[in-house]
Structure 1
Amino acid sequence: MPKVSAKRQITLPIDQCRDAGIEPGDDYSSYVDNEGHITIIKKVAGAAKGLLSDIDVNRKYSDEDSLQSSIAT
C-alpha cells in the first residue's frame, strides 16, 4: 500500500499508471472535492481544442472562481 512521504509526495501504483496512460514526465492536474477525494487527470496537448470555441467568456470571474463553483455543485 503506497504511503505519503514526509515531503507529501505520493507514488502511484504502476498498474494504475498503465491504466491511465501516465508515463514519467507527463503533466497532470489534480483536484480535491468537498469530501476530500483527490482526482488526478493526465494533461493531453490539444485535448480540448475547440471544445469551448462557441462559449462567451465572462471576465467577471477568475479561473479559480469558476473552478470552485464547478466543484461546489
Structure 2
Amino acid sequence: MPKVSSKRQITLPVDQCRLAGIEPGDEYESYVDNDGHITIIKKVSGAARGILKGIRVDRQVSEDDSRQSGIRA
C-alpha cells in the first residue's frame, strides 16, 4: 500500500496511472471535496479550446475595468 512521504508526496500505483493515461512528466490538477476525497485530473493540452467560442465581446470595456468588475468589497 502506498504511503505519503515525509515531504507529503504521494506515489500513484502503476495500474491506476495506466488507466488514467498518466505518464511521467504529465501535469495534473488536484481537488479536495468537503468529505476529504482527493480527485486527480490529468491536464490535457487544448482541452479548453473553443470554450469561449460564441461569447460576445464588448470592446468598450477595458481589460482593467473587466478585472475590477470581478473584485468584491
TM-score where L is the length of structure 2? 0.72
Q: Deviation per CA, 1:8-44, whole angstroms, max 9, x where unpaired?
A: 0000000000000000000000000111110000000
The equivalent of 1:30 in structure 2 is 30
In structure 2, the gaps of 5 or more residues are 57-65
Q: Deviation per CA, 1:31-72, whole angstroms, max 9, x where unpaired?
A: 00111110000000001111233457x7516xxxxxxxxxxx
Paired with 2:14 and 2:49, the residues of 1 have a C-alpha distance of 29
Q: Pairwise CA RMSD of aligned residues?
A: 1.8
Aligned pairs, how many?
60
TM-score where L is the length of structure 1? 0.72
In structure 1, the gaps of 5 or more residues are 62-73
The equivalent of 1:48 in structure 2 is 48
Higher-RCO chain (CA-CA 8 Å, sequence separation at least 6): 1
Paired with 1:17 and 1:55, the residues of 2 have a C-alpha distance of 36
Paired with 2:44 and 2:52, the residues of 1 have a C-alpha distance of 16
- Partner AA of 2:53 in structure 1: S
- Partner AA of 1:13 in structure 2: P
| Structure 1 outlier segments of 4+, above 6 Å | none
- Name the SS of the counterpart of 2:16 in structure 1: helix
